[in-house]
Chains A and B, each alone.
Chain A
Amino acid sequence: MAMEGLRPIAEIQFADFIYPSFNQIVGEAAKIRYRSNGEYTCPLVIRTPYGGGVRGALSHSVSIEALFYHVPGLKIVAPSFPDDVKGLLNAAIDDPDPVLFLEHKKTYRLIKGEVPDGHYTIPLGKANVRKAGTQLTVVSYGLYLHWALEAAQRLQEENVSVEVIDLRSIRPMDKTAILTSVQKTRKLLIVHEDNKFGGIGAEISAMVAEEALFSLDSPIRRLCGPDVPSMGYALPLEEEFMSSPAEMADAMRAMVKF
């Protein structure tokens, strides 16, 4: 449909069920423009609810972003706030290339916020500093972004100043926003729910190590999902997989003290 001039918006409910279409997304959609030298394009938006903490067990909890963010030709968006969802979804629909639009399913009911009337867009590939701070940069997205903000607010009450960056777009990634913040705070903590090994945090920390190692006052730290399938159904298993604002606050304190 996208190759014949329409702008289809597909929904894969849930992200865990996207694997059978991996071939079409990675092998086909992402390469249509490249392999036809622009004669054909694939302006497709795929919305998909991802993430856990909702008693979704092993097939309704997965974070899929790392499986796709390696792929040239794709764009990946993961907004956390209602106003960003609208602006970024409009931008994704306008975008001339395929966009994977990730919606954390626990934020559907947990997060409330004003959504401006009328049509507006928020550019893909731009992060947003949700809380300004001076002693530590925290980069996150999705549900954990909200928990990281909550933790940072707690630290504010302890007179610890943490800057929280809402990544919003995973690919392209806003390298400038991350580097600008890290050069100011000199410390970087990456927080995400997806498994740690090979996750988004690995790419961000490698990028910062390459570009800003000598601006850092402490090792980069990643607070991420454990490297096990996400996630066990029984409450203790789910709780063990998921992080919490308290755990994030502890990680932030430790880094600021380093």
Chain B
Amino acid sequence: MAIKPEAQSKVSLERHGLTDEQLVAILRTMLMQRTLENRGFQLNRQGKIPFASASEGHEAVQAGAAMAFERGKDILVPYYRDLGLALGIGLTPYEVLLSLFARAADHSAGRQFPHHYASRRLGLHTISSIIAAQLPHAVGAAFALQYSGETGRAVLTTFGDGATSEGEWHESVNFAAVHTLPIVFLCENNEWAISTPLSKQMGQPDVFKRAEGYGLPGGVVDGMDPIACYAAVGAAMQRARSGGGPTLVEAKCYRFLSHTTDDDDRTYRSPDEVQARRKDDPVPCFERLLVERAVLNAEQVEALKRGVLEETNDATDRAEAMAYPDAADLYEKVYAEGWEPWTV
């Protein structure tokens, strides 16, 4: 298993079988995540959208994990801070912008908060705002795979450190261990549950240690290192797909921005803390690594960034031009066709 016993601060030099194209794809997903996320905050500050949430600092774990996800086979049950994971498995920037603008063509038809996607096409489950509510869905999906005798498929579910204090998290991890379910629990530990620091969340700082108590393997990985995250999640997913059962992977990352556009993190943590952690910012670190390793040259990096920005601008313009849902859509899809909202 590729999971390391301890978090490392340096981005790994091991390729773990990744080709140049895959390494560049990972960097592009990371750049796209950051650009789209900034776009959400910009649109909010421009008064064009009421809300956006943040995942800056999660780029490495998400792009790495996405590379370990087999499209068309695996099932992703994420949380609301998983922009990069969704992009990495195939969600388009245009779909993200439709979500930000709450347009009718959005997957929730404008009903959900931004970044709460759902795509049957991608195997991407509908996302809840409720912390840890996705965990029972994830083990249910894994149980369905096992019950239906489906082999070679697995569920990847993600959550933050705060979710691991919820009862549903513990119930789900235990259930997966008891039934040897094909699932990987990936904790994106960014040390902050909105305003609650890790020290007020847990009696010790390591989520992965909880695995032992439930009888499944657990490991920790540097969440700022996309290749290490790919390797750890990939090994765990392979284990799940081949009937080996569940794994808990903890990726240590950091949340650089406020929780959402409605949150001001200066009220609960010092800018110095955030500044100090910026040295580990995974996007420039990985970019540097690929240049140092001659996977890309400086010009190619610039071209990549330009392409990401152009795609984001284009997606923004196209999504903004799309229509809002009709007011009448409020009444749709409460029940199946023929069972439209019943009222006395």
Contact = CB atoms under 8 A, between A and B. Distances in A.
Contacts of B332: 37
Contacts of B145: 4
Interface stretch (A25-33, A114-122, A213-221): A25-33
B144 A33 contact: no
B130 A33 contact: no
A125 interface: yes
Nearest to A29: B137
Interface stretch (A78-86, A142-150, A155-163, A167-175): A167-175
B333 interface: yes
A35 B342 contact: no
Interface string A72-95: 110100000000000000000001
B141 A4 contact: yes
B137 A3 contact: yes
Interface in B111-169: 111-112, 116, 118-120, 125-126, 128, 130, 133, 136-137, 140-141, 143-145, 147-148, 167-168
A97 B332 CA distance: 14
Query: For the complex, would chain B's binding face be called helix, strand, loop or mixed by DSSP majority?
Result: loop
Nearest to A4: B144
A208 to B, nearest CB: 9
A68 B342 CA distance: 15
A24 B125 CA distance: 15
Contact of A1 (B108, B126, B141): B141
A18 interface: no
Given A37-B108, A41-B336, A171-B342, A23 B148 contact: no
A188 to B, nearest CB: 14
Interface residues of B, number: 36
Contacts of A8: 140
Nearest to B342: A172
B108 A35 contact: yes
B109 interface: yes
B342 A1 contact: no
A207 interface: yes
A51 B120 CA distance: 40
B112 A35 contact: yes
In the complex, which range does the number of interface residues on chain A fall in? 35 or more
A28 B128 contact: yes
Interface in B322-341: 332-336, 339, 341
B344 interface: yes
A113 interface: no
A236 interface: no
A110 interface: no
21 contacts: A1-B141, A2-B140, A4-B140, A4-B144, A5-B144, A20-B167, A24-B168, A27-B133, A28-B128, A28-B136, A32-B126, A33-B333, A34-B111, A35-B111, A35-B116, A36-B107, A36-B108, A36-B126, A75-B335, A96-B336, A172-B342
Given A3-B126, A35-B126, A40-B120, 19 more contacts: A3-B137, A4-B140, A6-B148, A24-B133, A27-B133, A33-B334, A33-B335, A33-B336, A35-B116, A37-B333, A40-B126, A41-B336, A72-B334, A73-B334, A73-B335, A75-B335, A96-B339, A97-B335, A173-B344
